[in-house]
Amino acid sequence: DIRGFIFDLDGVLTDTAEYHYQAWQKLADEEGIPFNRQANEALRGVSRRASLMLIIGDRTYSEAQIEEMMERKNRYYVELIQHITSQDLLPGAIALLNELRQAGIKIAIGSGSKNAKTVIERLGIADKVDAIVDGYSVQKPKPAPDLFLYAAHQLGLQPQQCVVVEDAKAGVEAAKAGGMWAIGLGPVERVGAADIVLPSLAGVTWAELRTKFPQTAK
Ligand code: G6P
Ligand code: MG
């Protein structure tokens, strides 16, 4: 049976992917490193350090400079997320969370972000979930399965009883590596490795979704 849902946060429940982009863009501009929205696509769901590595490419910086740039980007990001409200929940998110809860499905948020708790509180959904697993919970970032395995464990469930909802390639990989079902949100080029691919959560219901999983999973 499917007994749990693990939602990624950034780009799934809310469009913080945009704020991450804006913060990286500001840093890149200050450093004179070419960067744009298109280049940012490769950063979706990628950890803070790995994102910076992709931005700097083969330019050399000391570890101290790298640390400072990660902190600076985070300051910009933290500033941007202060203005988040429940209005920033993506279409369909709250309806699905409510329906799942009513159906007795356990819910976790599994985000690699160290700012996840702030965002969740500002969105006003902390009381709708059973567990929050974030950038402080495990060592290895996605695509390693560790974060989602920890989330399943927090829910008291086996990986194969859990569905992960992700907008990032690295996140879908993490879910599949952990033995979970994956729903990918976005283009097939990005999340095509998921069991089910949808454009977004808009209009998505558990009643309909559950019929799409193989009989063995129901
Ligand atoms: C999520 C986001 C990434 C972000 C990462 C780390 O995976 O999708 O864009 O880089 O979290 O977030 P943090 O807030 O800790 O820098
Ligand atoms: Mg994401």
Residue 213: the pLDDT is: 83
Which of 10, 134, 167, 195 is flagged as catalytic?
10
Nearest in space to 156 (alpha carbons), one of 2, 9, 1, 4: 4
Please say if 58 is a catalytic residue: no
Q: Determine if ligand 1 sits within 6 Å of the CB of residue 112.
A: yes
Q: Could you tell me the distance, in angstroms and rounded to a whole number, from the CA of residue 159 to the centre of ligand 1? A: 23
Q: In which region does residue 66 sit, left (phi positive, over 0), alpha (psi from -120 to 50) or beta (all else)?
A: alpha
Q: Determine if ligand 1 sits within 6 Å of the CB of residue 179.
A: no
Please say if 130 is a catalytic residue: no
Q: Give, in degrees to the nearest 5, the angle at Cα 116 between 24 and 188.
A: 65
Token pair, residue 129, equals: 């979930």
Q: Determine if ligand 1 sits within 6 Å of the CB of residue 51.
A: yes
Q: Give, in degrees to the nearest 5, the angle at Cα 81 between 74 and 73.
A: 15
Model confidence over 166-195: pLDDT tens digits?
A: 999 999 999 999 999 999 999 999 999 999
Q: Report pTM.
A: 0.95
Task: Looking at the CA of 167, name the nearest ligand.
Answer: 2
- The band of 9, judged by pLDDT with boundaries at 50, 70 and 90, is very high
Model confidence over 132-161: pLDDT tens digits?
A: 999 999 999 999 999 999 999 999 999 999
Q: In which region does residue 104 sit, left (phi positive, over 0), alpha (psi from -120 to 50) or beta (all else)?
A: left
Q: Could you tell me the distance, in angstroms and rounded to a whole number, from the CA of residue 19 to the centre of ligand 2? A: 12
